Amino acid sequence: MNSVIVLLELEPATEVIDSAEVDIGARVRWVHAAGADPDAQEDPLPRTLCGLDSSEMEHEHYRPSGPGDPWYPEEYRGRRCQECDAALRG
């Protein structure tokens, strides 16, 4: 795989404020990886490396800055998908 696209699986977040649900924005549930579409390198393939549909995920425009850097942004270290991680190492 030449290029990896980092995708965010988001979890809608709401809070009850004054007896009403208020949307406070989406939170990152998991960070996944997908291969890049060979015809459009900025677009992910239809499935992540762990087999999920990538069309509902948000594209995280992250690229490692050098060799040995993780495939995911460091702030999401605890939220990286272990299956995607294993597929990239394997």
Q: Which residue range is the domain that position 65 belongs to?
A: 4-75
Q: Looking at the DSSP assignment, which residues form a beta bridge with residue 60?
A: 6
pLDDT of the chain along its 90 residues, tens only?
568 999 999 987 666 666 666 665 668 999 999 999 999 989 999 999 999 999 999 999 998 888 889 999 999 999 999 999 999 998
Tell me the DSSP string of 12-54: --EEEETTEEEE---EEEEEEEEEEETTEEEEEPSB-TTS-BG
- 41 domain-assigned: yes
- 36 domain-assigned: yes
- 82 domain-assigned: no
- 49 domain-assigned: yes
Residue type, 61: H
- Provide the number of structural domains found in the chain: 1
H/E stretch holding 61 reads: none
pTM: 0.82
pLDDT computed for residue 64 by the predictor: 87
- Residues 6 or more apart whose Cβ sits within 8 Å of residue 83: 49, 50, 51
Q: Collapsing DSSP states into helix, strand and coil, what is residue 85? A: helix
> For 57, which DSSP code?
S
